[in-house]
Every structure is written in structure tokens, then in C-alpha cells.
Amino acid sequence: MKKLILSVLLATSAVPVAALPAMAAPAAQPWADRSLDAAARADLLVKAMTFDEKIQMVHGYFPPLAKPAKKMGMIPSAGHIPGIPRLGIPTLRESDASLGVANQIEQRKGDTATALPAGLATAATFSPELARAGGVMIGAEARAKTFNILLAGGVNLTRDPWNGRNFEYLGEDPLLAGVLGGEAIAGVESNHIVSTVKHYVLNSQETGRHVLDARIGEQALRESDLLAFQIAIERGRPGSVMCAYNKINGHYACEQDALLNGVLKGDWKYPGWVMSDWGAVHSTEKAALSGLDQQSGQELDKAIYFDKPLRAAIKAGRVPQARLDDMVRRILTGVIASGLMDDPVPATPQPIPLDDHADVAQAVAEKGIVLLKNEGELLPLARTARKVVLIGAHADVGVLSGGGSSQVRSTGGAPVEIPLTEGEAASFARVTWHASSPLKAIKAALPGADVRYVDGKDPAAAAAAARDADLAIVFAWQWQTEAQDTETIALPDDQDALIDAVAAANGKTLVVLETGGPVLMPWIGKVPAVLQAWYPGQRGGEAIANILTGAVNPSGRLPITFPASASQAPRPEPVGLAQLKAMQAAKAAGATSNHGVSVGVESFPVDYQEGADVGYRWYEKTGQKPLFPFGHGLSYTRFTYGKPEATGGAAPTVSIDVTNSGARAGDDVVQVYVQGGADAPTWRLAGFARVSIDPGRTQRVTIPLECRTFARFDTAQRGWVVDGGPRRFAIGRTAIDHVAEGTITLAADRMQP
Ligand code: BGC
């Protein structure tokens, strides 16, 4: 598989821009000179543009509502910004692309693409290489479909287990989300197209996402969500940053001067452009002066603020002309730096190596599925198993996917698709299964066995079918979607009762969870094995079968904490749920929002009282024991660790010998945690590495530590500060199960904000 991924990587990564054949710049087009840097070329272009051309670049159409979409050559997708042929500026065609080239509610009939598993599955691989391979794959498909701006790179941290978009993101830890997000972005951009990073910042819940006011202090924000963005931007160099819907400390994210002009463009010196989320703009002058560079999906806002009103504001001197020039320069800098100007996407759709791409999706699933429990080594499935019963979740035909703008119409189509009749997501989401049948895959893997499926609607019938089987596998599911939070993290549709009934009938019951995040497991003591399959993507059935039969040794690790009860999390349910319900009730029955852009709920605060202590740090701080901690994940082999050695100073590392002391080859994820300073002494993931080790072999692993994970952000001195001196570090099997601890001597250090 590794070989395959590599070949996909090599086949689809475009040559670096610098390596493209140098083209002499015609005297009239000095910006075509590739020896100049992107910002300098962008600057030359801006100088050649008319006022109208500049305005044209700073607002984008939403093709489903734009008129005349067809005449303007728009592809039904998220966005369209007409190019300027006389200057060689390409038309910008935007597509959602968190998990593949999206095609929500099949707006482009028959246009399928490769669907990766949920972002959480990618996060669970703890593999920068796989995250990059996923990005490379998505970027290659987008390019072949003539898209050149991808709305990808979601790195919002999981603060709440019920957030409807957790499945799209990369978990609760800033280092993990930042590194993997950055790699995915770099993978997309290796195709000479642009990727965003999104949603900047604190779009941490969907309930009231257009109006809520996320409240948090600067230090806490820098040390958590902003750190994930900072690392992702450094590693991935996205051409664009998408500002979020919500407010942060009283200001809409797309008009948050301190975060856009201050942190992003000032402290981080980000050279690209800030595009709004779709329906996230509320003003002209405030937004323009606060750092927004482009209004996206303009038909979803109350006004096309960045057209006529912006022209008027500039003419009247309320927005300086230089600001407009800066907006355009930034857009063009992102476009040129990605390679998109010099290596334009094809004019018509091109063939795609679908089999290779499906292998990438399968590899991510196989390395990201997490074996949560395996009592009595129920798994891998004995080759002697004669009778296996699969129950529920349409496991006969497919695997579940998450809903919203990230929805991919996968290559095999959608064997089950359930429209929504109500709720904020109804206009653009359907409950959709990818055509990857666990039943078919398990049958193929166990040719001698009798493998059956029952739908699980009737627990008694399911229990009867399970009674005399060698193994009963209940597929349990929970659907998540953008625009709505899951009101409870309990499994829906009485599935707990189904699991109880099957487990009572057959002691060898395995639960496979197809969920967008953590769910409660009141039955955990009654079943010997649980596999967290997330939404496993378009080869999910095959990946699950390979893990169950032992063809693949499970190696995923949880990128989020699984709470033992809803009350353990900082907020047991979505904030603002009551207001949302009242608004929905007041509307005519079935009234929905467009593209998840709802109106009618008054702004309400969400106080992130946990501050930077997100996820496992919250559990440590409040002394609570979760059901499964961050970092947890079992294997069919055993890994033992030698004594760790740390080198301190300003670039600290930890080295350790890892031995595979079991009988099968397998991958381990070595996790290094470091304690925060005296003011906030919770443990933080400071470094990690995935290693493949053959049985009986030992591998030495050296892991560089990311100092900002355990530094403190000093708001008075405006920068990161590492207090010198001894600090505790640990090698953890999970965030709380430390197999070895030691002391590292840190050098006092200050880092740029
Ligand atoms: C989502 C974004 C998405 C955009 C365009 C918004 O509703 O929040 O993630 O990129 O729509 O589809």
C-alpha cells in the first residue's frame, strides 16, 4: 500500500513552480517574470489593473444563486470569480474539498469523486504523510475537474463532542490538527492550485453559527485554536484563509481587526488573502478595514458589500484605495505562489486515476480506524469462523458519510440517500452512504463462512439471528452534518437497545461505530470488542473487513477524548439550542435556511471557560476519567518502550527505543507529552511519530518537540515565552497512560508571536 501511495503522490504532485520552464516575460507583462517572488509579481499586476478589474476580484459569485450562471461559464459549485484574460488572470473556480471534491446534493449530476474518510480518521492516523497524500489526491482530482481554489484545510479544534462538524476537522489537539492540516494543504497546493485553511476562528459549534459570540481571552486563544492555524499555515502555506461565520469577542470573524490585521497579517506576516465564509459578511467599511480581502458567495449575504458599496466607500475616501490594492495584491499573491497562474488548470475535465485514488482513501481508513476494545482477543476474526452476522447501519450496501458542504458524491454512487425534511442543513445535505459494502468485503475475506445481514430494525429479530453465530457485528451509526449540532451524543434510534439485545444473545458481539465523533456507550461492559470506524470513506467496507480479519493490523489513535457521560464535557449540549428551536418553531413548518445560512436567532455568547485547556487537558484539569482518552488505540501486536532520552535546550528532542514484542508487524504511534509551565501545568502533546516495526525488531525514534505547545503566550510581551529550567515529559500510550516519564532541561526562550 505504501508503494501505491507513493506512486500516487509522485504521479500527481506537480513540479514545483520554481522548476517550471522559465518563460521570458513580454515587456508588456513584467508580472510574468518567474524570477520575481509572488508578491512582487502581484504588485506589478495590481499596477496594471483598472479600478473595475480590481473590484471584480474582491467579490465572488455563488453559482447556485448567481445570474446568469450559465452564460458566465460557472460550474455548479461553491464559488466563481471571473478572470481577467487581458492580464492572464485565470477565472477562479472554487470547490469545497475537505474530504474530496465535493458535490453536495449532486448539484453536478453524475460528477463523482474519490471520498476520503472523515477528517477525524485522517487525524487518527497521526501520519503527516497520509494527510499529505490525501491532499495531493484531492488536489489532483480538483485540477482534473478544472477547479483551482479548494475550500479545504479545516482545523477548528474539537471543543465539544456534539459539534456537527467535528467529523470534518482534525481533532482536539493544536499540534496534531496543525501538522496534519498543514500537510493536507501542502498536498492540495502541490497541484498548483490554491487551498484555504478554515474557519478562522472558533467556529466550534454549528448551533447559531452565524450569530454566536465566542468569548475567550487572548492568551488562551493563542495557545489553542490559533496555534493550530499558525502551525497549519506555516507548514501548508495556503493561498487563502477563510474567516468564519461567528463573532469572536464581540466582532464578526470577517471583521475582527485584532485577529485579521493583528494576528494573521501582522504577527504571522501572512501574505495571502482572507476570503469570507459563505454568508459571513456583514459590512463594507468595517470588513474592508479590518482585513477581509474577498467576499465569497455574495448572493448569500444581505448585500454585495464588496461591489457597489465598496466602490462608493473608496470614492468617498472611507476606505483607502491602497486597501483595495492590498486586497487584490493578496489574492494574486496566493494565486501566483500556488503556481496557478503559470500552470493553469486544464480548460476541460481530464481523466482521473480513480483506482490509485481509491487506494489512498483505503489507506487512510485502514490507518485511521481505531480499535477501542478487544477483550479476550476477539479480533482478529478467527479464520475458522463459520457464521458471522452483520446487523444494522445499511452494512449490506455501504458506509455512512457526514453531511454539508464537504459531501462528496463518491465514485460508486450513493446506495442510500435520505433527504432532510427540516433543520438548518435541509437545503444542502442528505444522509448519504458511500457504496462500499462491509457485507461484501467481509464475505470476500471469509470465503468459507456464512456471512449474513439483518437490518437491526427489530432488536429481537437481530438477537435471534445473532444467537448461534461465531460472531455478531453490530454496525452502529450517528450522522453529523454541517449547520446542525448533534443534540445528544447518545446513539440515535434506540441503537443502544439493539446492542444490548444482541450482546445478551451472543457473548461474541463486536460493535463497529460509524460516527462523526464520540458517542456514549452504556453497553461497553457487555461487548468484548469495539471498533471506531468514523465515516470511513469510499473504501470503508474493505478497510473494516481487512481490520476484522487481521489482513491489516489496526493502528489508529483517538484524536479526541471520548467522554464517559455528556456532563463530563465543558458544555453538555449546544449553547443556544433553545433559541434555535424557538426560532424554528416560529417559522413555517419545514422552513429552512439557504446553504445553512439561517436568520432569526439573536446573538448569544458562548463562553469558552476552559480556555486553552481543550479536550484531554480539560479532563486532566477537572480530574475526570473519560471513557477512552485522547491517543488511545489498540493493536494486534504489543509495543514496549526503552528508557527515553531527552536533549534539552532551545530545540528539544526525545528519543526512545520502540520494540514490537508481539507476533505481527504493526504500526505504533509514539506520543510525547510535556507539562505546561507553573501557571498551567497540564500535559500537552509536544511531538509524535508513527512507526512501522516488524515483530521482534526495535526501532529508535527521535521526536523533535514543538515548543509552542508547552510555552506560554505572553500578551504583555507579545510573544511566546519558554521559561528555562527543568520540565517533566512523558511517553504516553495515551494522554493519561504514561509509560515513562523524565525531566528535560529547557533553555529560556522567546519566540515570535
Ligand atoms: C461552510 C464552508 C464552505 C462554504 C462553501 C459554508 O457553509 O462553512 O466550510 O467552504 O460554505 O460551500
The pLDDT tens digits of the residues spanning 103-134 come to 999 999 999 999 999 999 999 999 999 999 99
- Asked whether the predicted pLDDT for residue 585 surpasses 90, the reply is no
Gap between the Cα atoms of 380 and 544, Å rounded: 11
Closest by CA to 634, choosing from 438, 361, 382, 369, is: 369
What residues does each domain of the chain span?
A: 35-103+114-338, 369-552, 637-751
Residue entry with cell 435556511: 593
Instruction: Name the residue among 358, 422, 411, 464 with its Cα closest to residue 116.
Output: 358
Which residue CA neighbors atom 9 of ligand 1 most closely?
405
Cα(278) to ligand 1 centroid in Å equals 6
> Which helix or strand (DSSP H or E) is residue 497 part of?
helix 495-505
Among the listed residues 221, 245, 223, 190, the one whose alpha carbon sits nearest the alpha carbon of residue 12:
190
206 CB within 6 A, ligand 1:
no
Whether 213 contacts 258, CB under 8 Å: no
Sequence-separated (6 or more) residues with CB below 8 Å from residue 610: 159, 570, 617, 618, 621
In the numeric block, which cell numbers belong to residue 237?
502555506
The backbone torsions φ and ψ at residue 300, rounded to the nearest 5 degrees and listed phi first, read -90, -10
pLDDT digits (tens, 9 = 90+) for 266-283: 999 999 999 999 999 999
For ligand 1, say whether the CB of 484 is within 6 Å of any of its atoms: no
Q: Between 459 and 23, whose confidence is greater?
A: 459
Q: Considering only CA atoms, which residue is closest to atom 2 of ligand 1?
A: 277
The yes-or-no verdict on residue 423 having pLDDT over 50 is yes
**Which CATH superfamily, name and number, covers 369-552?**
Glycoside hydrolase family 3 C-terminal domain (3.40.50.1700)
CA-to-CA distance for 12 and 352, rounded, in angstroms? 10
Q: What is the mean pLDDT of the chain?
A: 94
pLDDT at 18: 46
**Proportion of the chain above pLDDT 70, given as a percent:** 95
Q: Give every strand in the sheet of 430-434, ordered side by side.
A: 399-400, 430-434, 417-419
Mean pLDDT to the nearest integer, 682-706:
98
Q: Quick one: pLDDT at residue 8?
A: 40
Q: In the predicted model, is pLDDT for residue 16 greater than 70?
A: no
Neighbours of 27 (CB within 10 A): 6
Q: Which residues pair with 199 in a beta bridge?
A: none
pLDDT digits (tens, 9 = 90+) for 206-215: 999 999 999 9
Q: Is the CB of 94 within 6 Å of ligand 1?
A: no
pLDDT at 14 over 50: no
Q: Taking the domain 637-751, which CATH number applies?
A: 2.60.40.10
CA atoms within 13 A on the CB side of 541: 24
481-536, pLDDT tens digit by residue? 999 999 999 999 999 999 999 999 999 999 999 999 999 999 999 999 999 999 99
User: Rounded to whole angstroms, how far apart are CA atoms 627 and 569?
Assistant: 12
Q: Which atom of ligand 1 is nearest to the CA of 483?
A: 7
Residue 1 has pLDDT above 80, yes or no: no
- Res 5: pLDDT: 42
- Quote the CA–CA distance of 582 and 436 in Å, as a whole number: 39
Residue nearest to atom 8 of ligand 1 (CA): 277
Output the pTM of the full model. Answer: 0.96
* pLDDT at position 335 over 80: yes
95 close to ligand 1 (CB < 6 Angstrom): no
Report d(CA 659, CA 367) in Å as an integer: 19
Is the CB of 277 within 6 Å of ligand 1? yes
18-63 tens-digit pLDDT: 455 555 566 789 999 999 999 999 999 999 999 999 999 999 999 9
pLDDT tens-digit readout, 373-393? 999 999 999 878 899 999 999
Superfamily grouping for domain 35-103+114-338: Glycoside hydrolase, family 3, N-terminal domain (3.20.20.300)
What is the mean pLDDT of the segment spanning 222-251? Answer: 98
Kindly tell me if the per-residue pLDDT of 371 is higher than 80: yes
Sign of the torsion formed by the C-alpha atoms of 241, 244, 250 and 255: positive
Determine whether the shortest distance from the Cβ of 595 to ligand 1 is under 6 A.
yes
Asked if residue 741 lies in contact with residue 680, where contact means CB atoms within 8 angstroms, the answer is: no
Determine the longest span between alpha carbons in the chain, in angstroms: 81
pLDDT at 310 over 70: yes
Strand order in the sheet with 387-391: 370-374, 529-532, 509-515, 471-478, 387-391, 450-454
Task: Give one DSSP letter per residue of 460-474, joined into a string.
Answer: HHHHHHHTT-SEEEE
Ligand 1 centroid vs 277 CA: distance in angstroms? Answer: 6
Burial 75-85 (b: 16+ CB within 10 A, else e): bbbbbbbbbbe
Tens digit of each residue's pLDDT (9 = 90 or more) over 542-570: 999 999 999 999 999 999 999 999 999 99
How far is 25 from 33, CA to CA, in rounded Å? 5
